[in-house]
Amino acid sequence: MTTPPMRPPHQGGGLRSAARRSLHGREVEARRLSESVMAVAAGQGCVIVMEGKGGLGKSRLTREAVTWARRLGVAIAPAVADELPGAAPLAPLLAALRGCDPPILANPEFDPVHGRDYDAAWLIDQLEQALRKATVHQPLLITLDDMQWADSLTVVAARALTERLATSPVMWLLSRRPWPSGPMLDTLFSDLVAVGAVPLRLAPLPSEAVARFAGELLGAAPDGALLGLLDKCAGNPSIVVDLLTTLAEHDELIIDATHARLLPGSLDQRLPDWLSQVTPLTRQLLDVASIFGRTFDVPSVAKVLHRKVAELLPPVQEALGAGLLVEEGTQLGFQHDLIRDAVYRGLSLDARRRLHREAADALLATGGSVPDAAAHAISGAEPGDTDAVALLIRASDEMVAAAPGTAGDLRLRAVDLMAAADSGRPWRVMEAIGLLFLAGRSAEAQTLSEVALQDGLPAEVEARLRFQLADSLGTAGYSASALHHARTALGLADVEGSTRALLFAAESNAHLLAGDSSAALRAGEQAMATDMTPDRAGRALLTMGVAERVRGRLRRSLQLIDEAADLLAADAAGARRLEAHWARGRTLMALDRFDEAQAAWDAADRWAGEPGTAATEVFRRTCHALLLLHRGELADAVAAGNAGLSRAEELKSWMYVPELCAVLAEASAYRGEFGVARRRLRHGVSRVSEPRSVGAQRLAWATAVVDEAAGEEPVRVLAHLASLYEQLPDRLEALAFDPMAGPFLVGLARRADDARYAGIAAEATDSLSRINQGVISFAAAGLQAGGLLHGDDDRLVAAARAFEASPRPLARARAGEDAARGLLQHGRRAEAVEQLQLALADYDRAGAVVLGRRVRDRLGDLAGSGADRSAAGPAAFGWASMTTAELRVARLVATGLTNRAIADELDLSPHTVESHLRHTFRKLDVRSRVELTRVVLTREPTPGENDR
């Protein structure tokens, strides 16, 4: 063995520096590019797609274009896609727009986060707008290099934006290696060319160009032997640079004034020589090591060679001694890329592929990184390589639980390798899409689904794909689209029974969302009538159970959900098991069984965080917020609700947002935060997908609660609820949801003088208590509603008492208030005071300051009124007769505010303010605002300090 043949090259390596090298042998391409740059500088956009193997000069030509463009005053947005997996979606495009001077995007809001869902269409719209704005005054060159690594959203966006901005002064320069490729990327490039993009396909440089290039690099013309060596560089400038750098570094060249000659017995001749001089085992070690790249670790190599690590120590020593390898930290590395490449190239294609696959197996077997293993499978494979496909699928399977998104990506890679005619291909595509959905990357999954559906699929695959779409669209709150996919798939012939069952379940769910619980039940029954696996029956039963709850049949609901939970217990998908527990808890909550509900949810928490459970997290927080509201823990309900809301927005999972907003609005209003409450209501409405949906009903109810707490007039509150009244008694969900809803509706209708609505609401409340015999809150609500309808104070008192055994303090307090009102009407003052005091205590404990104040005022009135007036009820005239709302308005009048300003301040309608003022004028016997101000100031010398 001789001394080490090579050392790593120094920077620059004695060759002419990169900045001063000219372009060789690319005249045609350069002309094309310069023409395009001139055109864009003159306002005419275009698209250029460049393809060429690694090192042929794509980046170099891109740099040339950038230089010309800069000279002509064209703005530059440059970007290179990253090879490392896990880059954020759209990263290259965003980087290009941010890297522009001045930046086209400065806003961090456009950062879709990897592994999360994002709205592709919205993002692309934003980019389009930003680009349009940026190119009004200055033409733009966007370069997207290394597109073979680009994520699918970048590919989708590039297609959309090149088309939408076709008439803008934008020049697009997209480049890629021909491999790795994928269907989306291939389609992008061929589509672009089809609609007029200029294709630039880089061929190897001709020998003369290589010779000229080498001459320039060395500053002298290469001689015949050197030219012979350069010929082996396959016309690849990158290899030429590498080779000459190494030769120069190791003094293998003799360069005089005119010529560069190769030292006799030089590298090219010696390398194979050295390799042949090492022992066979060392040679094997090097062969295998070259598979792993420039650096590698010995245990992996040992695995592939089926040897013990110890056995490899002598060959490692030998290779180190020969200067072929060097130590690099805990790893070993080749002395130089050229050695690694020479060894790697020395392997036959077959051997390479086999070794890559073995390397992948070795990595998988030693618990090494699965993506690394998959990378080997990819490098070792060419289209049609069934072994590599199998390995990728295996790697994907292993990743499903931990990282469904990566598993999906691996499956897509496998699809890329599958032959077009392979009948397994559509299945793999469908599975990959399912995994992306599971990972929360639903925009991407939807795009891929559309492509797949357009291409045409076998019926069974199409049906499954549409099921996935229906399922995820439903979760996002788009019931109409979900229904469409479920229905379309059910219309297909030749679909397996179990798939049909899934589709019926999805249909059932979509109906439920849209507010049609009867249709939901019918679809659920159809699912059950189809022959199917337990987990699918579980799903169907689950939606049916929820539908029954919505219809107010709580015991039946519980029974169905329990059956569903049993069937789903064995289901691998954590999200489903979890949903069953949460749904069960909700029904238990409606049945007043709060602690059991909490226990069911706690039990479900052990699966939280499993893949696909992200969206159920929103559900979970919604349930928590709701339970806290019903328990009268308002501050906590607001905290839980807000957490749920921000998670929902992050995940773009809007199914529960209307309900969350309703809960938040109610809790905030009770706490006196009316501004917040109104904002939540507006937000909730913006996320309602269909007017008849459960969410819309919840929001209508919450709006009424907020209005009532704000002191809005009954007629106006009632107006929001007309559709809710009209749908009684068919749709009982609003009442089943919150037992105080029924009595609330009766009382409201009575105060608004609407006897018909009062009757309908009382009837519905009663029927709910009959359907759910033995549930305290429903029984109490039935009594309360009846008492209100008939002005029966005994029944009202009984209702308030019945509520004492329920876990719902706010419902109990409201019943107490109603009882007090009834009692007062019949002169039973002492009992009324007692009811009010109980209610006050409940409200105070809950932190319901607004309702508490209302009760306090009534108690104040009662205490202020003399014993002689006790029988007649509270004062009708004078300061003592003023209601809280009237007092608030009067105080603000005294500070000089107009009615409109008062309305804004108190979050009331101007109409209501006027009506309060009218009453106030009458009660205080004043005729003007000035008079009123005087009265207020004599009563309360420092206006504004009083509690509003």
Ligand X SMILES: Nc1ncnc2c1ncn2[C@@H]1O[C@H](COP(=O)(O)OP(=O)(O)OP(=O)(O)O)[C@@H](O)[C@H]1O
Whether 800 contacts 787, CB under 8 Å: no
CB 149 to ligand X: min, Å = 10
Whether 279 contacts 285, CB under 8 Å: no
Q: SS3 of 251, please?
A: coil
Whether 282 contacts 319, CB under 8 Å: yes
539 closest CA partner among 11, 530, 699: 530
Site for ligand X in 210-229 (CB under 6 A): 213
CB 101 to ligand X: min, Å = 23
CB 245 to ligand X: min, Å = 10
In degrees, rounded to 5, the angle at the alpha carbon of residue 452 between the alpha carbons of residues 446 and 458 is 125
How many angstroms separate the CA atoms of 442 and 118, rounded?
Answer: 7
Whether 236 contacts 204, CB under 8 Å: yes
- 238 near ligand X (CB under 6 A): yes
Judged by CB under 6 A, the residue of 5, 13, 57, 711 near ligand X is 57
Q: Which residue's beta carbon is nearest to the bound ligand X? A: 57
Total residues at the site for Mg ion (CB under 5 A)? 2
Which listed option, Mg ion, ligand X, none, makes contact with residue 25 (CB within 5 to 8 Å by class)?
A: ligand X
CB 232 to ligand X: min, Å = 16
- Comparing CB distances to ligand X, the nearer of 25 and 524 is 25
Q: What share of residues in the chain are helix, strand, coil (percent, to 5)? A: 65, 5, 30
Distances (CA, A) of 257 to 20, 218, 254, 576: 20, 11, 10, 78
How many angstroms separate the CA atoms of 276 and 287, rounded?
Answer: 12
Whether 376 contacts 363, CB under 8 Å: yes
- Comparing CB distances to ligand X, the nearer of 249 and 287 is 249
- Comparing CB distances to Mg ion, the nearer of 59 and 915 is 59
Judged by CB under 6 A, the residue of 32, 58, 441, 464 near ligand X is 58
How many angstroms separate the CA atoms of 178 and 147, rounded?
Answer: 10
* C-alpha R_g of the chain: 38
Options 59-67, 197-205, 442-450, 466-474: segment touching Mg ion (CB under 5 A):
59-67
- Comparing CB distances to Mg ion, the nearer of 58 and 631 is 58
Total residues at the site for ligand X (CB under 6 A)? 20
CB 29 to ligand X: min, Å = 9
Judged by CB under 6 A, the residue of 4, 16, 21, 533 near ligand X is 21
- Comparing CB distances to Mg ion, the nearer of 150 and 476 is 150
- 434 near ligand X (CB under 6 A): no
Site for ligand X in 241-300 (CB under 6 A): 241
How many CB atoms sit inside 10 A of residue 226's CB? 26
- Comparing CB distances to ligand X, the nearer of 61 and 892 is 61
CA dihedral 586, 591, 596, 601 (to 10 degrees): 0
3 closest CA partner among 189, 274, 294: 274
* Backbone dihedral region for residue 854 (phi beyond 0: left; psi -120 to 50: alpha; all else: beta): alpha
- 78 near ligand X (CB under 6 A): no
Judged by CB under 6 A, the residue of 26, 352, 511, 551 near ligand X is 26
- 23 near ligand X (CB under 6 A): yes
Which listed option, Mg ion, ligand X, none, makes contact with residue 21 (CB within 5 to 8 Å by class)?
A: ligand X
- 237 near ligand X (CB under 6 A): yes
- 295 near Mg ion (CB under 5 A): no
> In the stretch 186-215, what mask flags binding to ligand X with x, by CB under 6 A?
---------------------------x--
In degrees, rounded to 5, the angle at the alpha carbon of residue 412 between the alpha carbons of residues 406 and 416 is 145
Which listed option, Mg ion, ligand X, none, makes contact with residue 919 (CB within 5 to 8 Å by class)?
A: none
- 559 near Mg ion (CB under 5 A): no
- Comparing CB distances to ligand X, the nearer of 60 and 114 is 60
How many angstroms separate the CA atoms of 438 and 453, rounded?
Answer: 19
How many angstroms separate the CA atoms of 232 and 244, rounded?
Answer: 12
- Comparing CB distances to ligand X, the nearer of 114 and 177 is 177
- Comparing CB distances to Mg ion, the nearer of 99 and 873 is 99
CB 80 to ligand X: min, Å = 8
Options 16-24, 225-233, 352-360, 613-621: segment touching ligand X (CB under 6 A):
16-24
Q: What are phi and psi of 76, to 5 degrees?
A: -120, 130
Site for ligand X in 800-839 (CB under 6 A): none
- 18 near ligand X (CB under 6 A): yes
CB 56 to ligand X: min, Å = 5
- 91 near ligand X (CB under 6 A): no
How many angstroms separate the CA atoms of 105 and 93, rounded?
Answer: 10
Order of strands, sheet of 325-328, starting from the edge strand that comes earlier in the sequence: 295-296, 331-334, 325-328
How many angstroms separate the CA atoms of 182 and 175, rounded?
Answer: 14
Q: 37: which 2 tokens?
A: 């740059």
How many CB atoms sit inside 10 A of residue 498's CB? 16
- 32 near ligand X (CB under 6 A): no
Site for ligand X in 135-164 (CB under 6 A): 146
CB 20 to ligand X: min, Å = 11
- 59 near Mg ion (CB under 5 A): yes
How many CB atoms sit inside 10 A of residue 427's CB? 18
Give 101-126 as a DSSP string.
SS-S---GGG-PPTTS---HHHHHHH
Options 24-32, 635-643, 732-740, 891-899: segment touching ligand X (CB under 6 A):
24-32
CB 242 to ligand X: min, Å = 9
Options 49-57, 355-363, 490-498, 718-726: segment touching ligand X (CB under 6 A):
49-57
- 333 near ligand X (CB under 6 A): no
Residues at the contact surface with Mg ion, assessed by CB under 5 A: 58-59
Residues at the contact surface with ligand X, assessed by CB under 6 A: 18, 21, 23-26, 52, 54-60, 146, 177, 213, 237-238, 241
